[in-house]
Every structure is written in C-alpha cells, then in structure tokens.
Structure 1
C-alpha cells in the first residue's frame, strides 16, 4: 500500500465524518423545531 493511498483514505474518512456531523445537526435542528421535547 502506497503512502498516497493512506493519505487519500484519511481525507475521505475526515470528509465523511464532517458531512455526517453536519447532517446530524441539521436534521436534529429541524426535528426539535417541529416538536420540542418537554
């Protein structure tokens, strides 16, 4: 496995993690706006 492949995998992992966290916060905000718990 080359070094460039490892760096590419790390970049993809970080990108997916950031995108997932953004979607989670966006959906969470919409859900809380629809019906607030308590």
Structure 2
C-alpha cells in the first residue's frame, strides 16, 4: 500500500473541505439520504 500518497491525498481533501463547508454539508446530506434509502429497501 502507498501510505504516503494516501495521506497526501487526504490532507488535500481536508483542505478542500475546510475551503467549502457548504459542499461538504450537502454531500453529507446526500450520503445520509442514500444510506437511509438502502437501509429501508433491504
């Protein structure tokens, strides 16, 4: 596994998260909705 590459990717991802909180909130809502939908229909 390439740990250094992954950690660098996650650091840049966190920087994007800090830069755009609204996008993160909307993404979390979408993921939550999808998770509930899958949980209900299975």
Higher relative contact order (CA closer than 8 Å, sequence separation 6+) = 2
Structure 2 length-normalised TM: 0.55
Runs of 4+ residues over 3 Å off in structure 1: none
Normalised to the residue count of structure 1, the TM-score between the two structures is 0.60
CA-atom RMSD, angstroms? 0.9
**Structure possessing the higher radius of gyration over alpha carbons:** 1
- Which ranges in structure 2 are unaligned for 5 or more consecutive residues? 1-17
Show structure 1 runs of 5+ residues with no match. Answer: 28-38
* Aligned pairs, number: 25
Structure number with the higher helix fraction is 2
